[in-house]
Structure 1
Amino acid sequence: MLLASNDLGMHCADQDYQIFSILPPFNVVHAQVINRGATPLVMDDSAVSVVYQANSSPIDPAGVNSINKTSQIASVFKSNFWREGNRSIPLSSNTTAAKNTWGVLNYERLYPGVLAGALLQPPLNLASECLIQTPTPTNCPSILNLFEPLPVDMGIPVPNVELLGTGVLSVAQQRMPGPNNTPRAFQRFDRDVHFFTGFPFGAVINNTNWWSADGIPVLPVDDSGRSNAYPLMKVSANLGNQTLASLDVVLPVASEADCQNCHALAIDCGDPSLPLNVQSNSCNESALQNLPSARIESMDAAPGDTPLQKLLNAAKINVLRLHDEKHGASYTAADGSPRVCNPANDPNQHCLDSRRSIQCSQCHYSPALDLTQQGPMDEPGQGPDGRQQTRHISMSAAMHGFHGSLPKFNGKDLFPAMPGPVGRSPVVKEQVLQETCYQCHPGKRTACLRGAMASGGVVCQDCHGDMKQVGHDFSIAKPNGNFILDGSLRVPWASEPACQSCHTGDA
C-alpha cells in the first residue's frame, strides 16, 4: 500500500524574479510504503524506491489533458527562474563568463558562503574564492553558486538537517519530470524528522519512515499555457522494475499576490491587455501617495514577458522604491555599518531599487525559507549584502503586522475586520476575505480556502486572527530588543493553530 501527500499545502511562487522574490518554486511530497499483512510493516529505502512523474485527469477543471511536466517551455511563459540574469557567476571556475540564473541571484544570500564547503563530503576548501583573504577570508560568494548554472527544471538544493547537526553538509535537489515525463526519484528517506531542534518550539518526530521530495519546482501553469494551481503528480512505489502501487497527488501552487491593488497605477490595473480575471477597477494607489510622482513605475516601463508580469513588476518596483524612501537613510551592511541609500542619487547602489533581485527574508527572517533551521542570523562573511536578520522584524511582522496597522485611506479601512462567525453573512465574509487575506494569498482566482473548513463556514481569521494578531510574533521587540523564543509568541510557519485549538472535550 502506498500513501502520499503534499506536505506544504498551497505553496506560492513568484514567476518573475527580476525585481524581488517572496518564494521560489518549491513543493514537497512525502510518501510511505506499507507491506500489508497480519502485521503491517512500513517499508524503507533498503527494499523499495519511490518516484513521481506528471499526470493529468480527464475531469481537471483546468481542462482535459492539463499536465505539468516541465517548468520551461519556449512557447509558454512559466517563469524566468532558470534564465540567465545580469551578473557573471562569481567563481574562479567560471572561465566562460557564464551568467547567474535569476533564481540563484535571488536566493544565494539565504545559503552560507563558500567556506561551508568544508562541511561537504569530501570537504572542499573554497577560501580562495573570497574577495578578501587577510586577515581571514571574507566577502565570499554564496555556496549556491556551486550549483550554477542551475539546470532547467531543477529545484534549489535542500540540506539534510539531521546530518547538518553532525557537521556534515549533504544536500538533495528535486527536479520536474521534464518534457519526456521522466520518473524522478524521491531524494531522501527520513527515519526521523528534525524540526528546528535547537529552539524551544522545535522537536524530533521519531519513526516517520517516509520518502521526502523537498523542493519540486512546479509552477501554476500547465504545458499548454493554461493556469492550473492544482497539478497532478503520479507517485509510484517500485521493487526493482515492478510497480507495487501508485496514486495521484496534487501539488498545489499559485502565483497570486495582488500587490498592484495598492502599489500600481489604477489605469494599469484596468489595462485591456491583461487577462480578464486580473483586470480591475479597484486599485486604489494608496501606497503611491508617499512616492514622488517621477519615481512611480508604470506598467509600460516595467520589464516582463507578459502584460501580467509587467503589471506585477511595476508594483514590485514601486514597493522597493517606497521601502527606499521610508527606510533608506537607516540602511546598514551585513556587519552593521551604515549603508545609506539616497533614492534621488544612488551612485553606490545602496538602494534596493538599484540592486534588485532582492529576497526579502535576507533581512526579514522567515522560518519557511530557513532550510538549515538555524534561526535568524547575520552573515557579514558574504560581504555587505550578506544576511542581516537579527536586527529586523520577521517577514510575517513586516507584512501582516505593518499592513494590518495602516491607517484608513479615503475614510475606509484598507484591511477591514472580519465579523465573528455567528450571524456572518456569506456576502460580507467573501468581501472581507477579498480585501484582506486574498490581497496576498491565493484566493480570488485560486480558491485555496476549500475543504472541511470552507464547508463549515470557517475563514482564515477565525483561527489565525486578524493581520495585526498574525504579525505580533517573536520579533516584535525588534529593532532594539531580543527575539522572544520562549513559546509565548508565535513563530510564523512553525506555530500554527491545531485541531484542538477549537475542538476540545467532545466537540
Structure 2
Amino acid sequence: MRGKWRLLWLLSAVLLFACNPEAPGDGGGGGGNNPNPPPGGGPPDNPPQQGYVLTAWNDLGMHCMDSDYAVFSILPPYNNLHAQLKRKNGSLVTSGVVITYEATTGTDGQINTYSAGKTNFWDHAAAFFGVALPPDTGLKGHPTPSGRPAELEFNAAWGWWEAEGIPLTPYNDDGSKNFYPLVKVVARDASSGEVLVSANVVLPVSDEMDCRLCHGSDARRDDAKPKGGWVRDPNPEKDYRLNILRLHDEKHADAVRDRQDALDNLGYAYDPAGLEATARGGTPVLCAACHQSNALPGVGLGIKPFTNAIHKKHADVVDPRNGMKLNDANNRETCYACHPGAVTACLRGAMGDAKNPDGSQKMQCQSCHGPMKAVGDEAREGWLDEPNCQACHHDGLRETSAIDPATGRLRQVSDTRFATNGNVPASGYSLYRFSKGHGGLQCEACHGATHAVYPAHEADNLLSQSIQGHAGTVAECASCHAEPPRTADEGPHGMHAVSDWWVDEHGDVAEHDTGRCQSCHGRDYRGSPLSAVWSARTFQVEHGTKSFDRGHQVGCYDCHDGPGGDD
C-alpha cells in the first residue's frame, strides 16, 4: 500500500528536469534483444496534404537520466513530447484527430526503438517508485518510441497534445550513442485514419550527468575524500556514487535514523545505519525521497530542496581543473563539470551558439542563471525562478545577460512585446516553456525548446525545416496560413506581415509612429538581428525590384534616406 501511495504522488507530478550524456551503467551501452521491430512502410515525413501544419517539440533542450541506478538516482528516463496541429485555413485542431509518435531513423542513420536492456532503470524502478514498471514503460504509462505508434493525449489546460514521461535512452539499437534520437509524429483523421501531416522531431536525452571529477576514488583533489577513505569500487559507475553516499553519511550521520518513520510510511526501506549501507544492502536511494524538488511536486521531507542543497554546497568547491571556485567561474565549462555538456551540447541554439567577433561564446549558463550561489540561494524556487525572454529582449534591445548588474538578479522590464506569459505554470512565475502567443501556439512551437532555440543541432532543425523550408524560428506566414495575412501589427509579437503588400503599405503606418519600428529594425533604423531576412527574397518596389540575401538585416536605409527620408 505504501508503494502505491508513493507511485500516486509521483504520477501526479510533472517532471521538469533537463541535462546531457556519456557513460553506460550496468545495462548501458546497448545489448539486449529488440522487442520492437523497426518501423517500415509508414507515411512520408511530409505527405502531400497541404491543409494542415504540425508542429511538435521537446519541452527542454536536453533531458537527463542517470547512467546507472544500482546505487542512487537523481533522474529517471523521462522525456516529454508536445504537439499542436493547425488548419492552414483555420485555427488549432483540438479534437477529431489521432496524433501518434513512433521511432524513426536519426540523423546518424541509426534508430532507437527500445530502452530496456540499455539501462538498468527497470531493475530498480520498484525501489524508487513503489511499482515494478513493465519494460519500456515510463512513469506515466507512455512507452519507449518503437515501430508501433503510441498516442498523445490532448491537454485542454495547455492547449497541446502531449506524451509525458517517455522512457528514452541515448543508445541506438546497434549500441552506438546518439543524444538526439528522432521520433515521427503523425496526425490522422480519427474517423477515416487518413494521414493529415507528419513531422520528425528530436527527443534529446543524455546520461552524461557525472560527479566523478571530484568524487571518483583518487580524484585530482582530495577535498571530497570521505574520512573513512575512498570506496575504490571496481565499477566506475558505482564507485563515485558510493563515495558520495559515504560522505553524506559522515556529514549527516543520523539522516536516515531521524526520518525513519516518515521514510517507512512512504515505502522506502532505508537502513538506519545510513545511505551507503542502504545501497550496499541492495536498495538504491532516491535523492528526492528526502530533498524536495519542484521537478517532482510533493516529494521531500521538509529538508533543504535538492537544487539549493547541491548548488550552495558546491559553490565554494575548487574546480580541480583550473583551481577556481565554482562560483567564481563565468563560463559553461564549470557547469559542464557535473551537468551534461562536455560531450552533449546541452546549451545550444541561437543563444548558446552566438559568438563574439573574436570567436568566443557570447553567452554562458551564468548569463541567464547567475553564478552558482545564486542558483543555490535558499530564497530561490528551483525550476520555477528561471530567466524569461523579456529579461534580454526589451525596448528594442537584445541584452546578452538576463542578470541586472545593478541588482545581481533577473532584470525586470515593462516592455511586453517579447515577454513570456505571466503566472505560468503557477502564480508569480513566467516560464517560456509554458507560454503561448500568436494564434494560441506555444512559444516553443515556433522558437524551439528551452536551451535549443532555433537554429540548433541538425536534429533540432528538422522540424522548422519541414514546416518552412529552412532552419530558424518558424516565421514564414505561408507556413501556417493558406492566405498570408495582410496585417501591420497582428502577427507574432505584434509584428507586420512580410510581403509586397507591406512594401506598399508600410509608409502609411510608419508615418504615424516610426518609434514602433525600433523593436525589430533597431534604434538607428539600420536593422537588427530581429529584422534579418529568413530566406533570400525579392520585393516589388516603386522603381523596380529590391532583393535581399538571407541574413540581411533590413532597415530604413536600405531603400530610403532614413526613417523620414524619400526613396
Q: Which amino acid aligns with 2:305?
A: S
The question of whether the paired residues in 2 share the 8 Å contact of 1:55 and 1:233 is answered with yes
TM superposition shift of 1:10: 0.7
- CA distance in 1: counterparts of 2:295 and 2:262, whole angstroms: 25
Larger Rg over CA atoms: 2
Structure 1 length normalisation: TM-score? 0.61
Alignment of 1:10-29 (within 5 A): 10-29=62-81
The question of whether the paired residues in 2 share the 8 Å contact of 1:229 and 1:254 is answered with yes
Q: Alignment partner for residue 97 of structure 2, among 48, 68, 71? A: 48
Cα separation, partners in 2 of 1:336 and 1:107, compared to 1, 3 Å: closer
The question of whether the paired residues in 2 share the 8 Å contact of 1:264 and 1:285 is answered with no
Q: Which amino acid aligns with 2:60?
A: L
TM superposition shift of 1:362: 1.2
Q: Alignment partner for residue 468 of structure 1, among 345, 351, 373? A: 373
Alignment of 1:249-260 (within 5 A): 249-260=201-212
- CA distance in 2: counterparts of 1:29 and 1:408, whole angstroms: 36
Q: Alignment partner for residue 394 of structure 1, among 294, 301, 305? A: 305
The match for 2:251 is 326
The match for 2:226 is 290
The match for 2:165 is 215
Alignment of 1:174-253 (within 5 A): 174-178=142-146, 181-186=147-152, 188-192=153-157, 208-239=158-189, 240-253=192-205
Give ranges in structure 1 of 5+ residues lacking alignment: 84-101, 109-144, 158-172, 193-207, 267-282, 301-309, 339-346, 377-386, 420-428, 477-488
- CA distance in 2: counterparts of 1:408 and 1:242, whole angstroms: 57
- CA distance in 2: counterparts of 1:79 and 1:298, whole angstroms: 23
% identity of equivalent residues: 37
The question of whether the paired residues in 2 share the 8 Å contact of 1:263 and 1:285 is answered with no
Q: Which amino acid aligns with 1:316?
A: R
> Matched residue of 1:445: which SS?
coil
The question of whether the paired residues in 1 share the 8 Å contact of 2:260 and 2:272 is answered with no
The question of whether the paired residues in 1 share the 8 Å contact of 2:103 and 2:145 is answered with yes
Alignment of 1:128-167 (within 5 A): 145=131, 148=132, 150-157=133-140
Q: Alignment partner for residue 339 of structure 2, among 422, 441, 451? A: 441
Q: Which amino acid aligns with 1:104?
A: A
Alignment of 1:409-488 (within 5 A): 412-415=323-326, 417-419=328-330, 429=331, 433-434=332-333, 436-456=334-354, 457-472=362-377, 476=378
The match for 1:499 is 389
**Residues 447-479 of structure 1 deviation map (CA, whole Å, 9 limit, x = unaligned):** 22211112322110011011111010xxx2xxx
The match for 2:119 is 79
TM superposition shift of 1:21: 0.4
The match for 1:362 is 289
- CA distance in 1: counterparts of 2:322 and 2:185, whole angstroms: 52
Give ranges in structure 2 of 5+ residues lacking alignment: 1-52, 265-269, 355-361, 398-567
- CA distance in 2: counterparts of 1:23 and 1:336, whole angstroms: 22
The question of whether the paired residues in 2 share the 8 Å contact of 1:4 and 1:32 is answered with yes
Q: Which has the higher contact order (CA 8 A, sep 6+)?
A: 1
Q: Alignment partner for residue 351 of structure 1, among 274, 286, 298? A: 274
- CA distance in 2: counterparts of 1:330 and 1:363, whole angstroms: 9
Structure 2 length normalisation: TM-score? 0.54
TM superposition shift of 1:288: 4.0
> Matched residue of 2:309: which SS?
helix
CA RMSD, 1 decimal? 2.4
- CA distance in 2: counterparts of 1:455 and 1:33, whole angstroms: 30
- CA distance in 1: counterparts of 2:209 and 2:100, whole angstroms: 32
TM superposition shift of 1:15: 3.0
Q: Which amino acid aligns with 1:243?
A: V
> Matched residue of 2:121: which SS?
coil
Cα separation, partners in 2 of 1:410 and 1:418, compared to 1, 3 Å: closer
The question of whether the paired residues in 1 share the 8 Å contact of 2:214 and 2:320 is answered with no
Cα separation, partners in 2 of 1:20 and 1:369, compared to 1, 3 Å: same
- CA distance in 2: counterparts of 1:8 and 1:468, whole angstroms: 23
The question of whether the paired residues in 2 share the 8 Å contact of 1:190 and 1:211 is answered with yes
Q: Which amino acid aligns with 1:500?
A: Q
- CA distance in 1: counterparts of 2:222 and 2:346, whole angstroms: 27
- CA distance in 2: counterparts of 1:297 and 1:223, whole angstroms: 34
Cα separation, partners in 2 of 1:7 and 1:285, compared to 1, 3 Å: same
**Residues 412-469 of structure 1 deviation map (CA, whole Å, 9 limit, x = unaligned):** 33426234xxxxxxxxx4xxx33x2001211001122211112322110011011111
**Residue-pair matches, total:** 326
The match for 1:6 is 58
**Residues 260-293 of structure 1 deviation map (CA, whole Å, 9 limit, x = unaligned):** 1111124xxxxxxxxxxxxxxxx42434433322
The question of whether the paired residues in 1 share the 8 Å contact of 2:179 and 2:204 is answered with yes
TM superposition shift of 1:409: 7.2
Cα separation, partners in 2 of 1:330 and 1:50, compared to 1, 3 Å: closer
Cα separation, partners in 2 of 1:156 and 1:461, compared to 1, 3 Å: same
The question of whether the paired residues in 2 share the 8 Å contact of 1:48 and 1:237 is answered with yes
Q: Which amino acid aligns with 2:149?
A: P
The match for 2:127 is 105
